[in-house]
């Protein structure tokens, strides 16, 4: 029996550069991890090639639509594994939230299968496998602050975030990542994001300088679909966060605070706005 934790991610920045010939967008982003996680338990079974997933959320598929299923199936076929796999998945990361919940579960599955079957693969090898299934999965395999380029699969490890808290609020609706990117126009929506300065701020453990250079140029697009994004940001700013912005393609909004008492005030101001509200530590 193998236990794995799948941490959610937040975008400290997301700079969308252009649409590539393969249909993906070239991005330059800085991401970090937070103390909000799903939990997975992996066990071998005697039913060769059988994959069984138990999950405590009825909105999460347990068949081939699930990345966890797809990756287990890949391992069984690629490494000729003479066993089946049973997975218990406890969901805590909101679904369709721009926090890489599905990608983080997939990354945890890569790590879990590697240990369960004593395959001896490195994190780099697992990340390369993960990149075949999703752009955020390599970041989630390493599970630490990184600058991510390409379509998100090229990882440069950087300094962790200074100590701080995040208050997170997900509107009671989801948003399609593909639809957000399809509507993105670099001439209209691109924000002035300087990731070089953001990385230097992290290296210097300069919280205020970090906040100064954070940003997400998909916000204006997602706000067209989900008006709560702008509303939640304004609520958090009025409550005293140091910065409020959207993570990934959204619609989740988060605010950063240096002090826990500051985060408590923000949490109390936003918790009546939607169901999914969290106060968590930024892990890095």
Does 100 belong to an annotated binding site? yes
Rounded distance, CA 273 to CA 63, Å? 33
Does 101 belong to an annotated binding site? yes
Give burial (CB, 10 Å; 0-12/13-18/19+) of 196. exposed
Does 94 belong to an annotated binding site? yes
Active-site annotation holds for 35: no
Identify the active-site residue in 9, 91, 233, 279: 9
Identify the CA nearest to 90 among candidates 63, 60, 61, 56: 56
Does 106 belong to an annotated binding site? no
Does 104 belong to an annotated binding site? yes
3-state DSSP call for residue 162? coil
Identify the active-site residue in 28, 136, 217, 242: 136
Does 83 belong to an annotated binding site? no
Report yes or no: 229 and 222 within 8 Å, Cβ to Cβ: yes
Does 102 belong to an annotated binding site? yes
Does 95 belong to an annotated binding site? yes
Active-site annotation holds for 205: no
Lookup: tokens for 236: 């958090």
Pick out the residues of the known binding site: 94-104
Pick out the residues of the known binding site for ATP: 94-104
Q: Which residues are catalytic?
A: 9, 136
């Amino acid at each position: 029996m193998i236990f794995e934790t799948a941490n959610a991610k937040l975008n400290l920045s997301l700079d969308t550069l252009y649409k590539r010939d393969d249909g993906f967008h070239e991005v330059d982003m800085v991401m970090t991890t937070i103390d909000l996680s799903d939990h997975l338990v992996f066990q071998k079974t005697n039913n060769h090639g059988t994959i069984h997933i138990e999950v405590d959320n009825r909105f999460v598929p347990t068949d081939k639509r699930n990345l966890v299923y797809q990756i287990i199936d890949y391992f069984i076929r690629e490494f000729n594994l003479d066993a089946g796999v049973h997975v218990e998945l406890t969901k805590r990361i909101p679904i369709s939230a721009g926090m890489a919940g599905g990608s983080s579960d997939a990354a945890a599955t890569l790590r879990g299968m590697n240990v369960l079957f004593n395959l001896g693969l490195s994190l780099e090898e697992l990340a390369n496998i993960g990149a075949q299934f999703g752009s955020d999965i390599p970041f989630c395999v390493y599970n630490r602050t990184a600058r991510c380029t390409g379509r998100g699969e090229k990882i440069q490890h950087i300094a962790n975030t200074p100590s701080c808290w995040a208050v997170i609020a997900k509107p009671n609706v989801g948003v399609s990542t593909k639809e957000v990117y399809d509507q993105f126009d670099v001439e209209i929506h691109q924000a002035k994001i300087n990731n070089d300065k953001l990385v230097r701020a992290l290296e210097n453990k300069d919280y205020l300088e970090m906040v100064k250079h954070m940003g997400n140029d998909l916000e204006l697009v997602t706000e067209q679909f989900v008006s709560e994004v702008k509303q939640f940001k304004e609520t958090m700013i009025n409550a005293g966060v140091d910065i409020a912005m959207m993570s990934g393609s959204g619609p989740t909004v988060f605010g950063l605070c240096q002090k826990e008492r500051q985060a408590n005030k923000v949490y109390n101001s936003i918790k009546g706005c939607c169901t999914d509200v969290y106060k968590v530590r930024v892990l890095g």
